[in-house]
Structures are given as C-alpha cells and as structure tokens.
Amino acid sequence: MDESQRTTPMSADPATENDYADAHRQLQALRTLLGSVIVGQEALITHLITAVFAGGHVLIEGLPGLGKTHLAKALAAALGLQWARVQCTPDLMPADVTGAEIYATAAGGASTFEFRPGPVFAQLVLVDEINRATPRTQAALLEAMQERQVTHALVSHRLPSPFCVLATQNPIELEGTYPLPEAQLDRFMFKLTVPFPQRAALRELLDVSLDAEPADTLRSVASPADVLRITQLCRTVLLAERCKDAAVELILATQPDGASGADSQHRRHIRYGASPRALQAVVRAARVRALMAGRSHVDVDDLEALALPVLRHRILLRLESELDGLDADATLTSIINAWRARL
Amino acid sequence: MPTSPVHHLLGAVRRRLWRGQVVAALRQALWGSAGLLLLAVAVHLAAHRVPAGAVLVAIAVLWLSMLAWAGTGRPAIADCALWADRHLGGASAFTTLLEAGKGTLATPSPQAVRWLESWATARVPDSLRRLAEWREAARLTRPLLAMLVCAALTALVLSLPDLVPALRQPTGASSPSSTGDRVAAQAEPVAAQGIEKLAAALRSAPSPQSPESSQARRETGQAQAAAPGKADDARPAAQAAAMPAGEPATRRNPSSGTAADATATVAAPQAAGSGGGSGSGSGSGNEAGDSRDARGDTGISPAPRGTISVPGSRSTTWPALAERQADMGRLGTYAPEPSIPGAAAMPALAAAAAAATPPAASETTWLSPAETSYVQAWMKANAPRR
C-alpha cells in the first residue's frame, strides 16, 4: 500500500458484496493456514494478520524458540510476499538496512554511483532482535516505517507495497541492548507477546514441525495484490457513531490527566497515555477484524479485542507503580474492563 | 432504513422495553403509595386528622401520573437498536444500520450497507429467539408488600378513635406549636391562681417582730440552707442573710414551711444529701422540704445521695406535704394542694416568686448562732464532696 493509497479515499467504490465475502473467506483461509504451521498461537496469528491488512507494523516480544521467525516466514509464504531478514547487532549500520550507493561500472565503461537497496525494500521485513541495534540504526527504520520511503543522498526511494515490518525483541538478556525510544515504539501498530504454548500445542508441534520446516513448503493463499485489495476494502467497513465514541473514550481512559469521565483508580498508575495515533490504529485494526469476522461494520467487541496489543507499548507507567510490580498489561486490562462496562 | 425482519425485531424490542418501562412505573408507584400512606399516618398522629378520601386521591394522582409517564415515554427506535446490539447479539449491526439509513455515517459504501443489511437480517431469527428467552425479574414483590403493610397500618390508624385529642386541641393558629409551649399555656391560669393565693398569704402574714416570725425565719434559713444542693452551697445562707428582718419567712421562700420541724443538728446530713441530689436550679423550698421531712414521710423513700430529682415525681409528694403543713399553720397555706388543677405549674409559680425584687440586706437577717452552726456543720459535712 503506497502513500497515495493511504491518503486518498476511495472515490469510486469497486467493491461488491462478493468482495466482502471473498475477503472474509481469504482471511479465514490465511488464518487457518498459519494456524496449521504455527501451533497453539491462534491469537498471535489473528493479530498478525490484522496488522498486515491494516497496514501496520508489529513488534513481537517473546523468549527465544517460540517461533517468531518461523511465523514471519510462514506469513510471507502464505501471502506470497517478498521478505527479508535483518539480524540486528550493535555493529549494524543504517546503510546495512536501508541500502547504500556503490561505485559501479557499466558495460560501456562508464562508472557511476548507484543505489543498492537494502533489506528494508522487501515487502515483509523481519527485523530480528531490534533492540540490539544501535539507536542510529533504529532511527533509520523510522522513516521507512512511517513514510514508507528511504531517502539517500537527497533522493527518496519508495518502498514496495504492501510493506510490513515485523520486529522481534527478547525480554531477557538485556545487557548490551538499546531499548526502543517511545517515538519508534509508537510507530508499531501492535506489540504482541508470544506466550508459551499449552501442553496440547507442544504435543501437536512434534507432529507438525519435527522433521521439516512447513513454512518452506507453504503454498500461498493470497497474493500481494489480494493484500492490497483487502486492505482497501477494509477502509469501507462501516463505523457507527457509537463505536467512534467508544474508541475515543478508550484512548481518553488511558490519559493520566483525567480527561475522560472514567474512574482514576487505574489511571493513576499511568505517566503517559496513548497517542492519537493509537486511536487511528485501533480503529483501522478493528475494521480488519470486523471483516475477518464476516461483518462490514465495526463492533465495540472489535475495539475491545484489539485494545491491549494496540495500547500496551504506548503507555508509560509511573515508577512507583512499576516498583509495586504493576505492568502495562495489568493496568490496561483494568482500564479496558472498566471502559467496556461503561458502554 | 431497516429492512422488514430488522424492523420486526426492533418493534418487538420496543414492546419489550415499553413493558419494562410500565413495570418500572408500577414499581415506583407502589413505593410512592407506601410513602404516601406512611406520610398520612404521620400527619394523622402528629398534626391533624387526615381524611381517608384525601389519601386515596393522592394515591390515585400518583398512579395516574406514573402510568401516564410510562405510557407516553415510548422508547426510541435508536434505543431499541442499541438494546438489541447489546443484549441480542447484534454486534452494533442494528445501530449501524439505523445510522446508515439516516445518512449519519461518513461516506458509507453502498455495498457495505447492503452487506450489513444481509448480515443483520441473518441475525434476526437468533435475536428474536434470544428476545423470547430474555427474562427480567419484575421485582414487584417488595414494593407490593410494603404498600400492603402501609395500607393496613393506615387503615388501622385512621379507623381508631381520636387518641390524642389533648395534643390536637391547642394546635390552632394561635396556640403554641410545641409541647412545652402547650404545657406552659395550660399553666398560666394556674400560676395566676397561685400568685393570688400567695398575695393573700402575704397580706395575712404576721409581723416580722413576732416570735412566730423569728422562728419561721430560722426555719426558713434552715430549709434554704438544706435546699440548694448545687455547687453554690453557701448561697442559701447568704440569701437568708440578705432577707430583710421585716419580711415574712414565706416571702423569702414560699414553701419553706415544709421544713418547719427540722432541727439543725439532726437534719443537716439528711438535708445535705437530699438537697445536694435535688439538682433543682431554683433552689426552691419545695425540694428542701422534701428532703428535710423525709424522715416523717413514711410513704416516700428519701432520695439517695447524688440522684437527680424528676419534676414529675413532685405530685406524689404533695399529699405528704399537705399533711405536714397541717401542723404548720399559715405556712401550709402555700403548699400546692392536690385539688388544684395543673399542679405541674408550680415551678412557674415559684419562678414568679423568685423573680421578685430581693429585699435589702440588714442586720436583722443575719443568721442566728444555731443557724450559723448548722450551716458550718453542713458545709463541713459536704467539704469532701466539693
């Protein structure tokens, strides 16, 4: 999805009723396919699909060995996307991500500097252990993620469409890491956590991926064009006034200054609340989720289901609350429950 | 722009909500009726008789207003859609469909609206089934029981004969409002009679130079010394000393004659105990006489030390006082008789006498040696307590 697609509303509605049915069917097929190779992570798969079709980026946090890289590879294979992997280390340079100009000699003998695109020019970029890269390299991803372009030597190079960044980080072994700044965290639509699989899922994992990598042989159920079409179709999903008010109330409920009428029992733990970009993200994601559920309208339940992954990396807790053992998930769960009860 | 099945569903929801509204109005009317009945009972007992017709009319007005509110408050179709979304699994479809029909949605896609219509129509049977299974307690039992109990109580109170006519009679426009004022108003004529008798007794009092008057003065001094029983124990002696010699003893204390037979040496402890326990602010001779003559009053137990006398108990002591005063000549004239109506007004009489201008002090009002020794003994006996 390029910038013109993001900013220009649909002038002519090419969608038909069958398009909604087809989109629903494709999304369900994609979820089923990924669920067959990534065992026991249904919620993670659903959120990941939602983020891809909502045009967002995903930050995945989990312990090593839980299948994060495998999930990215499977998603790229299922959608037929060109994908690239960047393994972040402290000595990784920005040019290693965005690309660099090299001196090249043409066949006729003329030598010029030409731009050699980096791995960020793939449609699906897996940035592994992003918190091990230096802030300079992390900042190089900012423009790519937000503007969907790379500027080098005063020349802007547009990124392919669709474009999605899947970044992973390890919650342990934090020595020698550079935590992502808040500005960059806000550019991720979702922050997903990978839970440890249940017993049955572990048992099934042996049957699925013991001797082979199923992602390598995965057949695609959609094409990049389908991704763009469904992404555009999601923008036509109806949003009632009640859902708009609910989304606004949700964002206000995370503000520590008490802008909303919610009780301050949980808000008092928050130092900084969610940004307006979070409001846009939750509504865009709710549209995809509604279409995934076979609806052409958003429900408050969609907002509720997506509130936690959208908001968990966008709030900052007070130091006192963190010292008391409170984390963002617990605080947000309380806020979301209170918000849902008021609707 | 609701389609027919959706419109049918919203109509059913509206009837359901309307019925709930009527039930809520009934509940409020029942609670309101119970409150009105209790109010009627309270007014009937405290102020004036409440006719049963007025109570019935008030309840009827309440019920009519509540039912009219329930009947006219027809639930809006948007409220019905919202209720269906929340409780019947609508998932915001009915609300969104209504907004799409009204054109309030921002640039709705026609295909999306058609998809929404088909989706909502498909949800209608399940929503109707949920609506049929929806049960909500009417919660009419408690208000109904409360109203029945209050109705029975009201019927009982209104059907009883007038229980407190005496309280209701002075409740006119010019009568005092509180019970204390009513008692004071009843005591006014009694006090006037008492003042007249007091004045007559004063006119017939003997000369202060006579032996009778000096004896009475001594006895009065003893009684006053025994009577106060307050923190200011020395005041009776000083008051007695301040009395003019020419004044009769009865004028110093109208009821001081009740302590006539008390001797200083014997009665001092008793008087100190009973007087100290009386706690009467006026320091009247009535109470002093009570304490001093307790040894001759076989029908009344002397008040224990430190007890507080109850004004209502005075009436029980008047017959004994009358008997005692029979031996005391004129002084007994001033004791209130049981036949006097409104004997409870005697504090007012005593207050009227005490309010008179005190006589000038002179040497003739000084205590006699016996009185002085009595007062000193009494003060010595009470010194530890003070």
Mean pLDDT lowest among A78-87, A101-110, A214-223, B300-309: B300-309
- How far, CA to CA in Å, does A17 sit from each of A317, B114, B119? 45, 7, 11
Q: Which of B92, B110, B116 sits opposite A300 (nearest CB)?
A: B92
Q: What is the pLDDT of residue A23?
A: 92
Distance CA B58, CA B50 (A): 12
Taking the CA of residue A56 and the nearest CA in chain B, the distance in Å comes to: 23
Chain A residues touching residue B79 (CB < 8 angstroms): none
**Considering only alpha carbons, which residue of chain A is nearest residue B101?**
A240
Taking the CA of residue B123 and the nearest CA in chain A, the distance in Å comes to: 12
B91 and B145 both lie in a single domain: yes
pLDDT for residue A13 is more than 80: no
Q: What is the mean pLDDT of residues B101-112?
A: 80
Mutate: best of B88, B97, B107, B109, partner A, most A CBs <10 A: B109
Taking the CA of residue B74 and the nearest CA in chain A, the distance in Å comes to: 22
pLDDT band at A279 (very low <50, low <70, confident <90, very high): very high
> Does some domain include residue B54?
yes
B214 and B357 both lie in a single domain: yes
A86 near A119, Cβ under 8 Å?
yes
Asked if the C-beta of A17 comes within 8 angstroms of chain B's C-beta atoms, the answer is: yes
Q: What is the mean pLDDT of residues A188-207?
A: 88
Q: First and final CA of chain A: distance in angstroms?
A: 34
> Does some domain include residue B177?
no
Chain B residues touching residue A296 (CB < 8 angstroms): 109, 111-113, 115-116, 119
pLDDT band at B163 (very low <50, low <70, confident <90, very high): low
pLDDT for residue A313 is more than 90: yes
**Considering only alpha carbons, which residue of chain B is nearest residue A234?**
B112
- To the nearest whole percent, how much of chain A has pLDDT over 70? 92
Residue B160, classed as helix, strand or coil, is coil
Residue with tokens 């009092």: B205
B52 and B109 both lie in a single domain: yes
B125 and B267 both lie in a single domain: no
Q: What is the mean pLDDT of residues B29-40?
A: 93
Greater confidence, B245 or A103? A103
> Does some domain include residue B171?
no
B271 and B339 both lie in a single domain: yes
B198 and B109 both lie in a single domain: no
Q: What is the pLDDT of residue B316?
A: 45
Q: Which domains does chain A have, with CATH numbers?
A: 237-343 (1.10.8.80)
**Considering only alpha carbons, which residue of chain B is nearest residue A341?**
B86
CA A218 to chain centre: 22
Final residue of a domain: which of B108, B125, B159? Answer: B159
- To the nearest whole percent, how much of chain B has pLDDT over 90? 20
Q: Which of A20, A236, A240 sits opposite B99 (nearest CB)?
A: A240
Chain B residues touching residue A298 (CB < 8 angstroms): 92, 96
Final residue of a domain: which of B142, B159, B176? Answer: B159
Asked if the C-beta of A238 comes within 8 angstroms of chain B's C-beta atoms, the answer is: yes
Q: What is the pLDDT of residue A6?
A: 41
Domain with B247, as residue range(s), is: 184-382
pLDDT band at B3 (very low <50, low <70, confident <90, very high): low
Distance CA A243, CA B369 (A): 102
The closest of A145, A90, A149, A88 to A115, measured between CA atoms, is: A149
What average pLDDT does chain B have? 67
Q: What is the pLDDT of residue B363?
A: 60
> Does some domain include residue B40?
yes
Q: What is the pLDDT of residue A66?
A: 84
Distance CA A102, CA A320 (A): 51
Cβ separation B114–A17 shorter than 8 A: yes
How many CB atoms sit inside 10 A of residue A127's CB? 28
Q: Which of B82, B112, B118 sits opposite A236 (nearest CB)?
A: B112
Q: What is the pLDDT of residue A62?
A: 86
From chain A residues 100-119, the ones with a CB under 8 A of any chain B CB are: none
ipTM of predicted assembly, 2 dp: 0.81
Cβ separation B109–A238 shorter than 8 A: yes
The domain total for chain B is: 2
**Residue B2, token pair as written in the block:** 């609701």
Q: What is the pLDDT of residue B385?
A: 57
Cβ separation A20–B112 shorter than 8 A: yes
> Does some domain include residue B169?
no
Taking the CA of residue B88 and the nearest CA in chain A, the distance in Å comes to: 13
Greater confidence, B155 or B279? B155
> Does some domain include residue B273?
yes
Burial letters A82-111, b for 16+ CB under 10 A, else e? ebbbbebeeebebebbbbbeeeeeeeeeee
Residue with tokens 């390598």: A216
**Residue A142, token pair as written in the block:** 């900012």
pLDDT band at B162 (very low <50, low <70, confident <90, very high): low
Residue B93, classed as helix, strand or coil, is helix
pLDDT for residue B294 is more than 90: no
B226 and B372 both lie in a single domain: yes
Q: What is the pLDDT of residue B367?
A: 80
> Does some domain include residue B97?
yes
Instruction: Pick from A2-11, A71-80, B272-281 the range whose average pLDDT is largest.
Output: A71-80
B33 and B86 both lie in a single domain: yes
Mutate: best of B111, B114, B119, B121, partner A, most A CBs <10 A: B111
pLDDT for residue B233 is more than 50: no
Residue A195: exposed, middle, or buried by beta-carbon count in 10 A (0-12, 13-18, 19+)? middle
From chain B residues 55-114, the ones with a CB under 8 A of any chain A CB are: 82, 85, 91-93, 95-96, 99-100, 104-114
B27 and B129 both lie in a single domain: yes
Q: Which of B96, B106, B110 sits opposite A297 (nearest CB)?
A: B96
Q: Which of B85, B112, B118 sits opposite A238 (nearest CB)?
A: B112
Taking the CA of residue A222 and the nearest CA in chain B, the distance in Å comes to: 22
Cβ separation A15–B111 shorter than 8 A: yes
Mean pLDDT lowest among A5-19, A58-72, A164-178, B329-343: B329-343
What average pLDDT does chain A have? 87
Taking the CA of residue A76 and the nearest CA in chain B, the distance in Å comes to: 29
A167: which strand partners? A59, A127
Greater confidence, B8 or B331? B8
Distance CA B307, CA A67 (A): 90
> Does some domain include residue B146?
yes
Distance CA A48, CA B197 (A): 108
Give per-residue pLDDT as tens, B175-185: 444 444 555 55
B265 and B204 both lie in a single domain: yes
The closest of B318, B293, B319 to B219, measured between CA atoms, is: B293
Q: Which of A13, A241, A299 sits opposite B99 (nearest CB)?
A: A241
Cβ separation A19–B92 shorter than 8 A: no
Asked if the C-beta of B6 comes within 8 angstroms of chain A's C-beta atoms, the answer is: no
pLDDT band at B357 (very low <50, low <70, confident <90, very high): low
Taking the CA of residue B7 and the nearest CA in chain A, the distance in Å comes to: 19
Nearest-Å Rg of the Cα atoms of chain B is 41
Q: What is the mean pLDDT of residues B235-258?
A: 43
A166 near A124, Cβ under 8 Å?
yes
- The letter for the amino acid at B5 is P
Cβ separation B119–A296 shorter than 8 A: yes
Chain B residues touching residue A304 (CB < 8 angstroms): none
**Considering only alpha carbons, which residue of chain A is nearest residue B116?**
A296
How many CB atoms sit inside 10 A of residue A80's CB? 16
Q: What is the pLDDT of residue B286?
A: 46
Residue with tokens 């130079």: B209
Q: What is the mean pLDDT of residues B340-346?
A: 49
Cβ separation A300–B110 shorter than 8 A: no
B212 and B283 both lie in a single domain: yes
Chain A residues touching residue B100 (CB < 8 angstroms): 238
Backbone angles phi, psi at A342, to 5 degrees: -80, -15
Cβ separation B92–A294 shorter than 8 A: no
**Considering only alpha carbons, which residue of chain B is nearest residue A240?**
B96
Cβ separation B91–A299 shorter than 8 A: yes
B191 and B155 both lie in a single domain: no
